[in-house]
Amino acid sequence: MAPQRLVILGVAESDAHAVANRLIAMHLSQAGFEVVNLGTCTPLADFAAALRRHPTAEAVLIGSLNGHAYADLRDLPALRAEGELRCPVVVGGNLAVGVDRSADARRRLLELGVDRVLTDAAELVPLLDSLRPKVAV
Amino acid sequence: MSAPTTADFPMTVSPATAAALPPWPEVVSWLSAPERRHAVDVLRAARRPFVQPRCGVGEHARMLASLRTLDQAGPGLLSVTIDSHTRLGHFGTAARVLRERPADLNGYPLLAHGWERGRELAAAAGVPLEVRHGSPEARDLFACTLASGITSFEGGGIGYNLPYCKDVPLRDSLESWREVDTACGELAAAGVVVDRELFGTLTGVLMPPSISLACAFAEARLAADAGVRCVSIAYPQSGEVYQDTAALRAIPALAGRYLPAHVEVHPVLHEFMGVFPRCPGCARSLILLGALTARLGGAAKVINKTVHEASGIPSAEVNADGIRCAQLGLSPLLDFVELDEGLLAEECGWLRREVTELLDPVLDAADPLPRIVSAFARGTLDVPFSASVHAKSVVVPGRDARGAIRYRDFGALPFSPAVRRHNDACARRPQPAGDLLTTLSADINHFAAGRSCERCAATPTGRS
């Protein structure tokens, strides 16, 4: 039997939106993943600590609905420089304050070192499948 | 806590906040000035429900401009919605983002701006302000709110903890809010009545009305015990008009059971808090339905939504349009709309029974605070989809055939067999094909997919 695929899931540090987080956790479990769900209001350092505990994780998935994604993730380059969070980091949700700023928000997150930015949870499993060869080698 | 100005504020505030605030007697005399108009005056004068928008942007000048734009639309009260960093007590982060990129803030960082600017906000609008936030521990923010001349303050130790943060113990949040409420008691003795609004909306999605009202009344009872004289009990629109009207009408009856007679109580309806339809037509219909429901239920005010609800924080203009749309639903032209009083009385009766089965065991104590804490620890009080680890969150809600919210799983709630049988009889309906996730998603997307135009239904989240 193939070893269980594992992902680390959580919501960004200043964000308490729990509903999408719960539904995505259910969705990933149904798709066959083991989900380490850190829940709401999770600092980036806690995602890094979870990845140390679960080094086989295929990705760290960070939800953000309150528009504060950039401020909540601004320590990503520093953590990566220390050797932390060296797996695909995927951010999804509503990523900027205001209605028409999502393209700008996406660009700034990618500049921080976020690997993929999603706005639809339905794209998540196909994305994890596409990232998989990279983590398998 | 030894800074000179902390001693005279009637609650614990951090030394940094205390150092920035004016002396307490100055605050009281500012609030007591005869020309000052408070939220309580507007609530008492309301003969029909009035509309209140949410409103919060990072920059001070933009906030002033937003309040002035919204004021033109004729709201009864205006809001100062606080950003998420400030809510969680991360005042340094809020101040940094304000310096670097204020447009990145999802609300107004009142502590970073300071109380002098708060007074400018209060002076900018023709109506009183309320501070709306989501802080599990709000003493610093409340002190700054009072110093700003604002006497309406939303939140409580349950409703602003369990939906808003991961790991603040309930006892800590309840005890910190008790200090806020005790300060309100001292102000009431000085002649200044603070409106304390309790956020029964909770996580805002598929909230069973009995959970909403039980949490709000648990907080209201603690507030009243601490000296609060005016509470607003906020309930989130489920979207099913009989259920919502019954819930609003249950509020005065429950107040009679759980609160002393000298506490004034104002029912509040939050327009639908779940996934909003994306097209302007469907969104406007839902906004209008919310306002009409508030009128039928006898609410004092409606917290309104906008046509941009599905896509993000609205501009001031779109927000003002939302106020005007809600006002259409409050129009006397629609006073001919009446509901079947028999069905309403039945719904209201069952709901009151559910709430009393949840609350009687908790509130039948000289100090209910420890019982509330242990009820959540055991799951005899619970909140679905809680952000916090301090609620069991094992209750699963669902919609019945009419769209009313019922219990799909009671968790550990201590309901009687009669209440369970009634709930299950209501909840019975043909289930959509698929698993719990599919069913829950369909219930969550009720207005974005099931009850809206074909265009909305095709992409309920708009993220195709």
Domain assignment of residue B459, yes or no? no
Using a CB-CB distance cutoff of 8 angstroms, which residues of chain A are in contact with residue B59?
A: none
Do residues B168 and B311 both lie within one domain? yes
B458 and chain A: CB distance < 8 Å anywhere?
no
Domain assignment of residue B293, yes or no? yes
In b/e form, how buried is each residue of B310-329, taking b as 16+ CB within 10 angstroms?
A: bbbbbbbebbbbbbebbbeb
Q: For A45-62, what is the mean pLDDT?
A: 97
Beta sheet of A116-118, edge-to-edge order: A33-37, A5-11, A60-64, A89-93, A116-118
CB contact under 8 Å between B386 and A18, yes or no, is yes
CB contact under 8 Å between B385 and A120, yes or no, is no
Angle separating helix axes B341-363 and B209-226, nearest 10 degrees: 50
The pLDDT assigned to A119 comes to: 81
Using a CB-CB distance cutoff of 8 angstroms, which residues of chain B are in contact with residue A42?
A: 166
Domain assignment of residue B26, yes or no? no
Among residues of chain B, what percentage have pLDDT more than 90? 89
pLDDT in tens, B317-373: 999 999 999 999 999 999 999 999 999 999 999 999 999 999 999 999 999 999 999
Q: Smallest Cβ distance to B85: which of A14, A19, A26?
A: A14
Q: Which of B264, B299, B330 is the last residue of a domain?
A: B330
Rounded distance, CA B60 to CA B66, Å? 10
Q: Which amino acid is at B91?
A: F
The pLDDT assigned to B6 comes to: 52
DSSP B315: P
**Is pLDDT above 90 for B51?**
yes
Q: Which amino acid is at B431?
A: Q
Do residues B201 and B127 both lie within one domain? yes
pLDDT in tens, A80-136: 999 999 999 999 988 777 666 678 889 999 999 999 999 888 889 999 999 986 555
Closest residue, chain B, to A23 (C-alpha): B437
pLDDT in tens, B73-121: 999 999 999 999 999 999 999 999 999 999 999 999 999 999 999 999 9
Domain holding B151: CATH number?
3.20.20.240
Which residues are paired to A118 by β-bridges?
A92
CB contact under 8 Å between A40 and B165, yes or no, is yes
Within B301-408, residue ranges assigned H as helices are 316-329, 341-363, 369-378
**Is pLDDT above 80 for B431?**
no
A127 and chain B: CB distance < 8 Å anywhere?
no
A71 and chain B: CB distance < 8 Å anywhere?
yes
Using a CB-CB distance cutoff of 8 angstroms, which residues of chain B are in contact with residue A22?
A: 385
Can you read off the two tokens belonging to residue A125? Answer: 């499993």
**Is pLDDT above 50 for A137?**
no
Query: In terms of Cα–Cα distance, which of A128, A124, A121 is closest to A20?
Result: A121
Q: Which of B290, B311, B330 is the last residue of a domain?
A: B330
Q: Which amino acid is at B175?
A: E
B314 and chain A: CB distance < 8 Å anywhere?
yes
The pLDDT assigned to B427 comes to: 87
Q: Is B56 exposed, middle or buried (0-12, 13-18, 19+ CB in 10 A)?
A: buried
Q: For B366-387, what is the mean pLDDT?
A: 97
Rounded distance, CA B437 to CA B25, Å? 55
- In Å, how far is A109's CA from the nearest CA of chain B? 13
Rounded distance, CA A24 to CA A30, Å? 10
Rounded distance, CA B258 to CA B254, Å? 6
Do residues B291 and B326 touch, judged by C-beta distance below 8 A?
A: yes
**Average pLDDT across chain B, whole number:** 94
Between residues B177 and A118, the one the model is more confident about: B177
CB contact under 8 Å between A97 and B105, yes or no, is yes
- pTM score: 0.92
Do residues B303 and B269 touch, judged by C-beta distance below 8 A?
A: yes
Do residues B313 and B357 both lie within one domain? no
CB contact under 8 Å between B163 and A16, yes or no, is yes
Domain assignment of residue B269, yes or no? yes
Domain assignment of residue B138, yes or no? yes
Do residues B322 and B366 both lie within one domain? no
Do residues B295 and B182 both lie within one domain? yes
CB contact under 8 Å between A71 and B85, yes or no, is yes
The count of domains in chain B is: 2
| Most distant CA pair in chain A, distance | 47
Do residues B166 and A39 touch, judged by C-beta distance below 8 A?
A: yes
Domain assignment of residue B45, yes or no? yes
Using a CB-CB distance cutoff of 8 angstroms, which residues of chain A are in contact with residue B437?
A: 23, 26-27, 30
Do residues B324 and B346 both lie within one domain? no
**B333-339, Cβ contacts within 8 angstroms, sequence gap of 24 or more:** B334/B292, B334/B295, B335/B295, B337/B292, B337/B296, B338/B296, B339/B241, B339/B242, B339/B245, B339/B296
Do residues B269 and B359 both lie within one domain? no
Q: Which amino acid is at B113?
A: H
**Average pLDDT across chain A, whole number:** 90
Q: Which of B297, B330, B363 is the last residue of a domain?
A: B330
Do residues B287 and B385 both lie within one domain? no
DSSP B450: I
Using a CB-CB distance cutoff of 8 angstroms, which residues of chain B are in contact with residue A11?
A: 387
**Is pLDDT above 50 for B169?**
yes
Q: Tell me how far CA of residue A106 lies from CA of A10, A61, A100, B53, in angstroms.
A: 19, 15, 12, 29
Can you read off the two tokens belonging to residue A123? Answer: 């794209």
A30 and chain B: CB distance < 8 Å anywhere?
yes
Site from B81, B84, B202 to mutate, A interface, most A CB atoms within 10 angstroms: B84
- In Å, how far is A95's CA from the nearest CA of chain B? 10
Catalytic residue ranges of B: 87, 154
CB contact under 8 Å between B166 and A98, yes or no, is no
Can you read off the two tokens belonging to residue B93? Answer: 């982060």
Can you read off the two tokens belonging to residue B136? Answer: 């599990």
Using a CB-CB distance cutoff of 8 angstroms, which residues of chain A are in contact with residue B387?
A: 11, 16-18, 39-41
Q: Of the listed A17, A27, A54, A68, which one is catalytic?
A: A17
Query: In terms of Cα–Cα distance, which of A6, A42, A114 is closest to B166?
Result: A42
Do residues B153 and B197 touch, judged by C-beta distance below 8 A?
A: yes
For chain A, strand residue ranges (E) read 5-11, 33-37, 60-64, 89-93, 116-118
Using a CB-CB distance cutoff of 8 angstroms, which residues of chain A are in contact with residue B313?
A: 67, 97-99
Beta sheet of B78-81, edge-to-edge order: B50-52, B301-303, B264-270, B230-236, B195-199, B152-154, B129-132, B78-81
Closest residue, chain A, to B165 (C-alpha): A16
- In Å, how far is B313's CA from the nearest CA of chain A? 5
Q: Smallest Cβ distance to A41: which of B165, B203, B437?
A: B165
A63 phi and psi angles, rounded to 5 deg: -90, 145
Instruction: Quote the radius of gyration of chain A (alpha carbons, Å).
Output: 14
The pLDDT assigned to A59 comes to: 97
A23 and chain B: CB distance < 8 Å anywhere?
yes
- Half-sphere exposure (Cβ direction) of B462: Cα atoms closer than 13 Å: 17
- In Å, how far is B247's CA from the nearest CA of chain A? 23
Give the ipTM: 0.80
A35 phi and psi angles, rounded to 5 deg: -110, 120
pLDDT in tens, B192-239: 999 999 999 999 999 999 999 999 999 999 999 999 999 999 999 999
Tokens 């002396």 map to which residue? B23
The pLDDT assigned to B264 comes to: 98
Do residues B227 and B290 both lie within one domain? yes
The pLDDT assigned to B1 comes to: 41
Do residues B136 and B253 both lie within one domain? yes
Closest residue, chain B, to A92 (C-alpha): B463
Angle separating helix axes B139-147 and B115-124, nearest 10 degrees: 60
The region of weakest confidence among A1-10, A25-34, B57-66, B74-83 is: A1-10
For B137-260, strand residue ranges (E) read 152-154, 195-199, 230-236
Do residues A15 and A72 touch, judged by C-beta distance below 8 A?
A: yes
Q: Which amino acid is at B127?
A: V
Closest residue, chain A, to B206 (C-alpha): A19
A46 and chain B: CB distance < 8 Å anywhere?
no
Q: Is A27 a residue of the active site?
A: no
Cα angle, residue B347 at apex, residues B363 and B403 outer, rounded to 5°: 110
Domain that residue B413 falls in = 341-443
Q: For B391-419, what is the mean pLDDT?
A: 96
The pLDDT assigned to B7 comes to: 53
Tokens 């994890």 map to which residue? A128
Domain assignment of residue B7, yes or no? no
Do residues B139 and B275 both lie within one domain? yes
**Is pLDDT above 80 for B174?**
yes
The pLDDT assigned to A130 comes to: 93
Domain assignment of residue B417, yes or no? yes
Do residues B214 and B358 touch, judged by C-beta distance below 8 A?
A: yes
CB contact under 8 Å between A99 and B103, yes or no, is no
CB contact under 8 Å between A99 and B436, yes or no, is no
Which residues are paired to A91 by β-bridges?
A62, A117
Q: Smallest Cβ distance to A119: which of B106, B313, B463?
A: B463
Do residues B147 and B273 both lie within one domain? yes
Q: Which residues contact B394 (CB under 8 A, 6 or more apart)?
A: B379, B382, B409, B411, B412
- In Å, how far is A32's CA from the nearest CA of chain B? 14
